[in-house]
Structure 1
Amino acid sequence: MANYLETYAAELDLPVRLNAEVEALTRSNDRYVLETGSNRLTATNVIIATGPFQHPSIPEFAEELDSSITQLHSSDYQCPDRLPAGAALVVGAGNSGAEIAVELACADRSTWLSGRGTGHIPSRVFNSRPFWWLADSVFTVDTWLGRKVKKRSQGHGDPLIRLTPADIRQRGVERVPRTEGVTGGKPRLEDGHIFDVDAVVWATGFRPEFGWIDLLGLAFDANGYPIHEKGVIDEEPGLYFLGLSFQRTPVSATIGGVSSDARYIASRLTDAD
């Protein structure tokens, strides 16, 4: 995939600027202004394609854990050897949490996986053409069924794909309820059980970070995501988003599903011209 993107940029001679973090996005008259350190770029159209995984989300009560407990977010996890020996609690039962928990259990650690079940889509189904056709053509924000699926998916982890609930149990991982707080410096579950563990891995997802955008016409919802119509910001002509979770379909934030959203944004750019 990396090779493809590199070749694509080279063959089309695209003016790619690497290691250029955009620190601010504002507007001056009819042009958008992007500040990148010492550089200043202006554009009529801007597509923000920063994806859904921006800032690790960790519960505030994590700060109350005893300092003797090693804790890290799933995005910083590398392998069992990077954690201290002993029992581990993985908080968040989606794909990342389940896979980390299984790896820790296979390394002969007592491991608990905390969180609600997210369901399971068999990999043979997920990788099938009918699934991707349904995801891209039926379960969209344009249909009643798609809007219902989107509403149900908000606030929940993605369904398990590579692992099944049975796989998790067979590898020695014990499923436990959600972690809701801390008591005596130790994690506390919603059923009141308190765990004495040596490490906690927060597989609790990510939250958006758009504080660098300062545009009067751009509004955000209660979860911090931009309010848009299939990635288009009507109140800010020329501003678009790409790769948001369920931007248009349940696979909008995946490599396999972002292409149709990109085509839609490209068509709107053409219309704008």
Structure 2
Amino acid sequence: MNAPSHTTHVPVVIVGGGQAGLSVSHHLKKLGIDHLVLEKNRVGHSWRNDRWDTFCLVTPNWQCRLPDYPYQGTDPKGFMLKDEIVAYLEGFARMVDPPIREGVSVTRVGKGPRGGFEVETSEGRLTADHVVVATGGYDVPIVPPYAHALTKDVAQIHSVDYRNPDQLPPGEVLVVGSGQSGVQIMEDLYLAGRQVHLCVGPAPRSPRQYRGKDATEWLMEMGYYELTIDRHPQGEKAKEKTNHYMSGRAGGHEIDLRRFALQGVKLYGSIAGMDGATIRFADDLAKNLDDADEVYVSIRRDIDKYIAAQGIDAPEEPPFVPVWTPRDTPTEIDAKAAGIGAIVWAIGFRPNYAWIDLPAFDGRGAPKFTRGVSPVEGLYFIGLPWLNTWGSGRFLGVADDAQFLAGVMSERLHARKSAAA
């Protein structure tokens, strides 16, 4: 799947050969539009190289709906493991057969001297009428500056580098962050018999099975995944919200951090600072647990209302009752005295758009777009959470976003040809 290296101008350049970029390529091929996909590594690299050994999807396999390539296995309600995800994406790439150059980095995209765009790459320079940014938002691992002030006796890695418990030195482990990665790495370490400490942030949580179905099935029926950002009650602020945590491990289950506390995991509030062997935490553990549970309960309430409104015969479930409440949680510990030998940072990533030399971003450096269409004519974004709907950043919704952008490009290319004629 390699395009000829002598191409100097193409109508469309897609930067990124993951599921989003390949989905755009598929729809452009169906429309007969010449294009080129540039991928700095190889198809499936992030899934293959940037996930831990036991990683699996938190959404069921039936939600894997890349364009014209839905999940074809025998376990639609299961959760694909890392190798299965890679195989699914590689199978999609074989079907699409995109004009792609793997191992090619894009170092700059700017305005061309005669209109359009100039695309500088590790293999030379291209020009294009349209550029699609399909690189995602997980480029730069976040580690706070004060991490460098911690004693060197404690090993530190980011979640992107975590593979398995045996990789870490002996001793107890502090996981910082309670988003999807943080809680799943915490569970991975706990199941391996490691003593785990967890900094609990403001991430919300979700039910897994509720009233006879996986919660995602109810939400799909209720139209949640089709809710567009302009109709969301929180509007643009929804883009800043962390995904709800739960797990697909061992057939899928919800994660209640209070239960893990009962089983020996030591919980603290948000990380606040480090100095020498001292690690400081905010006094917000109770609030963060309560807020996560409120979101959990609100999802259950919405499902209850839907079941009642539709007259659905579904089994009843008892109301949620917290099984543990924090008492006298320390806001400071000594890592050496606590026996902590390693820290896993799981507080997310920052996107890197420094290579885009165009006025396409807001004051905080976030891309500006409406359903992926940038105010900079000819520039597009795809594969980001809430690009248009809740499902936009997932295997579930990227197909619709790709089809829409391909249609926009088709209309603009045809209008340009008509004007030239």
Q: CA RMSD in A?
A: 2.3
Structure 2 equivalent of residue 193 of structure 1:
332
Select between 32-41 and 156-165 the one with higher mean Cα deviation: 156-165
Structure 2 equivalent of residue 160 of structure 1:
245
2:230 matches 1:142:
yes
Shift in Å, 1:104: 1.4
1:30-45 pair list within 5 angstroms: 30-45=115-130
Instruction: Give SS of 2:356's match.
Output: coil
Q: Is the 8 A contact 1:22 1:37 kept in 2?
A: yes
Residues 12 and 89 (structure 1), Cα distance of their counterparts in 2 relative to 1, 3 Å cut: closer
Segments of structure 1 that go 5 or more residues without pairing to the other structure are: none
2:387 matches 1:247:
yes
Structure 2 equivalent of residue 237 of structure 1:
377
Q: Is the 8 A contact 2:277 2:334 kept in 1?
A: no
Structure 1 equivalent of residue 368 of structure 2:
227
Shift in Å, 1:9: 4.6
2:290 matches 1:205:
no
Q: Provide the TM-score with structure 2 as the length reference.
A: 0.58
More contact order relative to length (CA 8 Å, sep ≥ 6): 1
2:134 matches 1:46:
no
Select between 52-61 and 183-192 the one with higher mean Cα deviation: 183-192
Instruction: Give SS of 1:136's match.
Output: helix
Per-residue CA deviations over 1:15-38 (Å, capped at 9, x if unaligned) read: 111111111111213121211113
2:171 matches 1:112:
no
Shift in Å, 1:212: 0.8
Instruction: Give SS of 1:26's match.
Output: strand
Q: In the comparison of the two structures, how many residue pairs are matched? A: 266
Residues 254 and 13 (structure 1), Cα distance of their counterparts in 2 relative to 1, 3 Å cut: closer
Give the counterpart letter for 2:107 in structure 1.
Answer: E
Rg: which structure is higher? Answer: 2
Q: Is the 8 A contact 1:126 1:161 kept in 2?
A: no
Which of 268, 273, 288 is matched with 1:181 structurally?
Answer: 273
Which of 123, 136, 148 is matched with 1:63 structurally?
Answer: 148
Q: Is the 8 A contact 2:179 2:242 kept in 1?
A: yes
Shift in Å, 1:13: 4.5
Q: Is the 8 A contact 2:108 2:120 kept in 1?
A: yes
Instruction: Give SS of 2:198's match.
Output: strand
Structure 2 equivalent of residue 267 of structure 1:
407
Give the counterpart letter for 1:267 in structure 2.
Answer: G
Q: Is the 8 A contact 1:54 1:208 kept in 2?
A: yes
Instruction: Give SS of 2:184's match.
Output: helix
Select between 194-203 and 6-15 the one with higher mean Cα deviation: 6-15
Instruction: Give SS of 1:75's match.
Output: helix
Give the counterpart letter for 2:356 in structure 1.
Answer: I
Instruction: Give SS of 1:23's match.
Output: strand
Select between 262-271 and 6-15 the one with higher mean Cα deviation: 6-15
Q: Which structure has more helix as a fraction of its residues? A: 2
Give the counterpart letter for 2:332 in structure 1.
Answer: H
Question: Which 4+ runs in 1 deviate beyond 6 A?
Answer: none
Q: Is the 8 A contact 2:137 2:352 kept in 1?
A: no
Instruction: Give SS of 1:187's match.
Output: strand
CA distance in 1, matches of 2:96, 2:176: 44
Q: Is the 8 A contact 2:226 2:391 kept in 1?
A: no
Structure 2 equivalent of residue 20 of structure 1:
104
Give the counterpart letter for 2:269 in structure 1.
Answer: P
Residues 12 and 103 (structure 1), Cα distance of their counterparts in 2 relative to 1, 3 Å cut: closer
Segments of structure 2 that go 5 or more residues without pairing to the other structure are: 1-84, 248-253, 284-330, 414-421
What is the percent sequence identity of the aligned residues? 32
Per-residue CA deviations over 1:87-107 (Å, capped at 9, x if unaligned) read: 111010011111111221222
